Structure 1
Amino acid sequence: MSATVQTPTTRPQIPVTVLTGYLGAGKTTLLNRLLTEEHGKRYAVIVNEFGEIGIDNELVVDADEEVFEMNNGCICCTVRGDLIRIIGNLLKRKGTFDAILIETTGLADPAPVAQTFFVDEEVRAVAKLDSIVTVVDAKNVVARLNDSHEAAEQIAFADVILLNKADLVPAAELVALETRLRTINPTAIIHRTERCMISPTEILDRRAFDLDRILAIEPDFLGEDAHEHDDAVTSVALRETQPIDVNRFNQWIGTLLREKGLSILRSKGILDLKGSPNRFIFQGVHMLMEGDDGKPWGQDEARDSKLVFIGRDLDAVELKAGFAACVA
């Protein structure tokens, strides 16, 4: 499926946060915290399998109801079919909740969930992927990375990582773990947590797919040029100081993702497009990509274009040459 820069929608979109992480990492603990916090907001919650989630008694979903409103103002639904259909049904209730939370199973690749918000036009018109949050078990993550490719993919897809159960691991090991996570995903924000204790503002409404906002908080978010090696999943970061030709870029990225999108888990970047006063923000999941205008470039600001790929069997030399050929 081709990847073409899309024009931004003018309709308001409901933010969607995906919670992922390997079995036992603490996803349900995090979900329960988000639902029971005194935040004054109402959330719709989609879970992969009702039988697995094990929400606390006060958050139990009626198995005979697809949508069930909780006493605390949250709405929960169990997935019994196509995610697009579920979201479509939820959005018919627009105005009754502020955001959607999706919890994947512990063995899930988060890509299909993320792709839903790229491929279905009706969903895209009313809902926007806000961020992917991955909960990592600090005590067991090394073993999981050695025996499970899903664990590596969950980390690779993350916009925010909770290094959970940090109290069970010595400080020196935590530093080494963060370094290991960075070799898999150099752009995610990492928080150390115990029992997933974290402010909801660090998880929800992050607009992590709005790289413009994240860079305002963390200027080094995209990192320096690098090609990190760690097991199967690696990252390649690219930078160009000259303006980018939008047609050349579309042709290159479209061909690249069509041919190698299965190996490219995530792609993201900020581009200086020739003739545009605004930076261009783009995000990709496997073969799919979407883009949007960001804030204007500052008068004295260095208008560098930055691009990051996370995936398997990435050819850094080939990617750098392809990006360089997009210069106007």
Structure 2
Amino acid sequence: MQVRTPLTVVTGPLGSGKTTLLRHILATVPRKIAILMNEFGEIAIDSKVLAGKNVQMADLGGGCVCCSLLGEFEAAVNEIIDTVDPDIIVVETTGVAEPDALVFDVQESLPSVRLDGVVTVIDADAMVKYPYTGHTTRMQIEAADAIILNKVDLVSESDLTAIEEKLRSFNEVASILRTKRCRVDTDLLFGIVRERVQQPPDHVHQPQFESFSYKKPATFNRQCFEGLADSLGTEIYRAKGFVQFPEGTYLFNFVAGRWELEQFEQEATQLVFIGKQLSERKEDILERLSSCEQ
């Protein structure tokens, strides 16, 4: 009897902390892990963040893993099993993906794997700033076997209680794990093996977000760039990438008005901006980026 490879789906809204969770998993789980990523945007920032680890990467490119790339997803899973034979496969979906079709595809079309569980990462601070729960986020919560309620240090205890009640209204069975920077006991994420029968999905995507990218070998004035980051506002929901300053290259993460820089070895400045009605801000942001070049 063939031993099926366990597959875990990591999903959640844009900027919730999915890649941060993967970095934590890679640093703490002493097993051979294969990661498949499906990013939103022209530049695969997240896969570059994880590159160089003891991990097999398969980048599925832009688009939605739960719809247009299902055939490519199946091929990538089978190729990884044949060539790498990992202990665990982890699939990180883009923040605008609905996981139900992916779960159905795993169950119906990939006999070489078994669905171990769906882990949904939720940004507590974003839940407070943007209380409306859209259709896609709701689907991600409903599909979860475990919910990582991340960035709990940025909100009050009363807000956390309200968020957990809201999550419970969408999903009564998933465990809710409060975390800072997705530092969680990984034993709680693997070996879930919850029995489920996923019905064929019936949904049509209504794109909510636009994106554009910026890539140059230039070095940037840090004070100028930080001023730009401070001014992005709420129209830009998510921005990420690498920025070269005179003192070195940094990983830039912006979510819901907050941003941070983390020193990171990478060549050239590469940035992705994601938001609603982004075309109205694109030219201004590109001009300001150019003005920060040294």
What's the TM-score bracket when you normalise by the shorter of the two chains? 0.5 to 0.7
Deviation at 1:55, TM superposition (A): 3.2
Deviation at 1:52, TM superposition (A): 5.7
Question: How does 1:16-55 map onto structure 2 within 5 Å?
Answer: 16-37=7-28, 39-49=29-39, 51=42, 54-55=45-46
Deviation at 1:12, TM superposition (A): 1.2
Question: How does 1:111-190 map onto structure 2 within 5 Å?
Answer: 111-120=100-109, 123-124=110-111, 126-141=112-127, 144=130, 146=132, 148-190=134-176
Question: Mind listing any 5+ residue stretches in structure 1 that lack a counterpart?
Answer: 1-9, 61-69, 210-281, 289-328
Deviation at 1:56, TM superposition (A): 7.6
Deviations 1:176-231 (A, max 9, x none): 11111111000001000011011211112332x2xxxxxxxxxxxxxxxxxxxxxx
Match of 2:54 in 1: 73
Letter matched to residue 113 of structure 1: L
Deviation at 1:111, TM superposition (A): 1.3
Letter matched to residue 284 of structure 1: V
1:108 equivalenced with 2:21 (yes/no): no
SS in 1 for 2:90: strand
C-alpha distance in 1 between matches for 2:185 and 2:50: 20
Letter matched to residue 199 of structure 2: H
SS in 1 for 2:158: helix
SS in 1 for 2:132: helix
Letter matched to residue 197 of structure 2: G
Contact 1:161 1:190 in 2 (8 A): yes
SS in 1 for 2:182: coil
Deviation at 1:284, TM superposition (A): 1.8
Deviation at 1:46, TM superposition (A): 0.3
SS in 2 for 1:139: helix
C-alpha distance in 2 between matches for 1:56 and 1:47: 7
TM-score by length of 1: 0.54
C-alpha distance in 2 between matches for 1:41 and 1:54: 24
Alpha carbons of structure 1 residues 184 and 53: separation in structure 2 relative to 1, 3 Å: farther
Match of 1:86 in 2: 76
Contact 1:18 1:101 in 2 (8 A): yes
C-alpha distance in 1 between matches for 2:139 and 2:154: 24
C-alpha distance in 2 between matches for 1:173 and 1:204: 28
1:283 equivalenced with 2:219 (yes/no): no
TM-score by length of 2: 0.60
Matching residue within 173, 177, 181 for 1:191: 177
Contact 1:14 1:99 in 2 (8 A): yes
Match of 1:4 in 2: none
Aligned-residue Cα RMSD (Å) equals: 2.1
Deviation at 1:174, TM superposition (A): 0.8
Contact 2:119 2:144 in 1 (8 A): yes
Alpha carbons of structure 1 residues 134 and 52: separation in structure 2 relative to 1, 3 Å: farther
Question: Mind listing any 5+ residue stretches in structure 2 that lack a counterpart?
Answer: 62-68, 202-294
Alpha carbons of structure 1 residues 196 and 109: separation in structure 2 relative to 1, 3 Å: same
Letter matched to residue 103 of structure 1: E
Match of 2:262 in 1: none
Contact 1:30 1:196 in 2 (8 A): yes
- How many equivalent pairs are there? 191
Question: How does 1:263-274 map onto structure 2 within 5 Å?
Answer: none
C-alpha distance in 2 between matches for 1:176 and 1:58: 33
Deviation at 1:94, TM superposition (A): 5.3
Percent identity of equivalent pairs: 31
Deviation at 1:118, TM superposition (A): 1.7
Match of 2:291 in 1: none
